[in-house]
Amino acid sequence: MSGGVLGFLTRRREARAWHWTDVFTYVYLALGVLLMFGPVVWLVLSSFKTQAGLVEFPPTFLPLAQVEVEVEVRGKLRSLPLFRVTMDDGSVRELAQIRRIGIIAQMVDPENPAETVRVPIADREPIREFRLAWSNYSDPLEKFNFLRYLWNSVFVTLMATIITLLINSMAAFGLAIYEFKGRTLALGFVIGTLMIPITVILVPVYLVVTELGMVNSLWAVIIPGAATPTGVFLLRQYMLTIPRDLIEAARMDKASEWTIYWRVVMPLSLPALAVLAIFSIMWRWNEFLWPLIVLTRSENYTLQVGLNAFQGELNVQWHYVLAMTVVTLLPVTVVFAFLQRFITTGIASSGMK
């Protein structure tokens, strides 16, 4: 295929003509991209809008803000919003608004500040420019201790993922490599716990956590969810595909069971571990209900719980919510970009006939 990116993006069944299936496929894919990325793009753009820009109707796509000019009004230098006004005689002028009374706006020409003009508000239209409201980001990060929340989230996510990978792979190793009575039963129990929703065990787990004195500690978020049935099952199924000969060869090589686990099975399970790591990072990063329950002091909040704090009973600070939502999205995106190639590479498929 020639033509680089454009050639890649317009690949067809046959080189010459567009078949209707080509058109259908591209429409379908474009729709998919729109459905999946549309909200994200909207979110990112909106996170740069001012509070006023967010509630504006009809909404604008790009973050726009009204242009302001410095005008000296009655001896005072004031910053006034600029409007494009259609005058009675049909001419168009750019005027700054001093104040608005009912349906009449009192305006002034920045070039000639001494003269004020009264204009019906229907005849003026704000002049706007593309402007990013960085304060949406800087304010929460500086004033509301969001960096602390960010660190808490990173800590919870990293520790929980490491612990999850470690104990899930150990359980999977036991269930995949060893033959013992009740193996299927044990696996059945593990998978059976998938059917119990978290809301059912919320109160008992909370009581346990309280008894252990872990309330308001990040470990209370990390430990209860570390063993996941999905993870055990995923890793076990993958480990079953590792040829038995390799395990037996390791046994003949005087490897202890720990060595077999750590030096043979774990490296060969890397693709499955990467998948589980990605899942675990996403689960932990987005976790909301459980941290909300066990973390009550604001210095222990994770990002998700911190975001919730912007939603007051009467007033939602949408500009902060949106900006911080973007912040919470970034790390998962980066993680996914780096780890996703592991999902597709099969490392264990080599070396054996």
Partner 1 sequence: MAHLHLRAVQKAYNSVQVIHGADIEILDGEFVVLVGPSGCGKSTLLRMIAGLEEVTAGDVEIDGQRVNHIPASDRGLAMVFQSYALYPHMTVYQNMAFGLENTRMPKPEIDSRVRRAGEMLRITELLQRKPKQLSGGQRQRVAIGRAIVRDPKIFLFDEPLSNLDAELRVAMRRELAALHHEIGGTMIYVTHDQIEAMTLANRIVVLNRGRVEQIGAPLELYNRPANLFVAGFIGSPRMNLLEGTVVETDADHTLLRLPGDRTWTLPFGLDVAPGISVTIGARPQHIATGAPGTGDIDVVVDLSEQLGGETYFYATPPGPGGLPQMTVHELGQHTVARGQTLSLRFHPEQVHVFAADGGILRHGPGHA
Residues lying near partner 1 in the complex (CB under 8 A) are found at 243, 245-246, 248-256, 259, 263-264, 267-268, 347-348, 350-353
CB of 273 to partner 1, least distance (A): 13
CB nearer partner 1, residue 39 or residue 267: 267
- Nearest distance from residue 249's CB to partner 1, in Å? 4
Closest separation in Å from C-beta 173 to partner 1? 16
Q: 222 phi and psi, to 5 degrees?
A: -75, -50
Contact predicate 68/81, CB 8 Å: yes
Q: Which is nearer to partner 1, 59 or 243 (CB)?
A: 243
Cβ proximity to partner 1: between 229 and 271 the closer is 271
Q: Please enumerate in sequence order all residues whose Cβ is within 8 A of that of 184, keeping only pairs 6 or more positions apart, or say none.
A: none
| C-alpha–C-alpha distance, residues 287 and 157, integer Å | 10
CB of 165 to partner 1, least distance (A): 17
Block residue for tokens 């490296």:
267
Tell me if residue 77 falls in helix, strand or coil: strand
Q: In sequence order, which residues have a C-beta less than 8 Å from that of residue 51 and are 6 or more positions away? A: 317, 318, 319
Contact present, 105 and 99 (Cβ < 8 Å) = yes
Q: Is the backbone of residue 92 left (phi > 0), alpha (psi -120 to 50) or beta? A: beta
Closest approach, Cβ 271 to partner 1, in A, equals 12
In the bound state with partner 1, the residue whose beta carbon lies nearer, of 116 and 259, is: 259
When the beta carbons of 201 and 249 are compared against partner 1, the nearer one is: 249
CA count, 13 A, side-chain hemisphere, 134 = 2
The residues near 149 (Cβ < 8 Å, ≥ 6 apart) are: 301, 302, 303, 305, 306
We find the least distance from the C-beta atom of residue 238 to partner 1, in angstroms, to be 14
Distance CA 351, CA 249 (A): 13
**Looking at the chain, how many residues does it have?**
353
* Contact of 224 with 289, CB cutoff 8 Å: no
**Residue number with CB closer to partner 1 (214 or 347):** 347
Beta bridge partners of 86: 92
Task: Kindly state the tokens that stand for 230.
Answer: 């999905």
How many Å apart are CA 45 and CA 310, to the nearest integer? 19
- Looking at beta carbons only, is 133 or 265 nearer to partner 1? 265
Q: Which of 137, 138, 81, 135 is nearest to 110 (CA)?
A: 81
Residues 6+ apart with CB under 8 A from 347: 267, 268, 270, 271
* Least Cβ distance, residue 186 to partner 1 (angstroms): 21
Nearer to partner 1, 70 or 253 (CB): 253
The nearest distance, CB 347 to partner 1, in angstroms, is 7
- Identity of the residue, 74 or 353, whose beta carbon is nearer to partner 1 in the bound complex: 353
Shortest distance, position 335 Cβ to partner 1, whole Å:
23
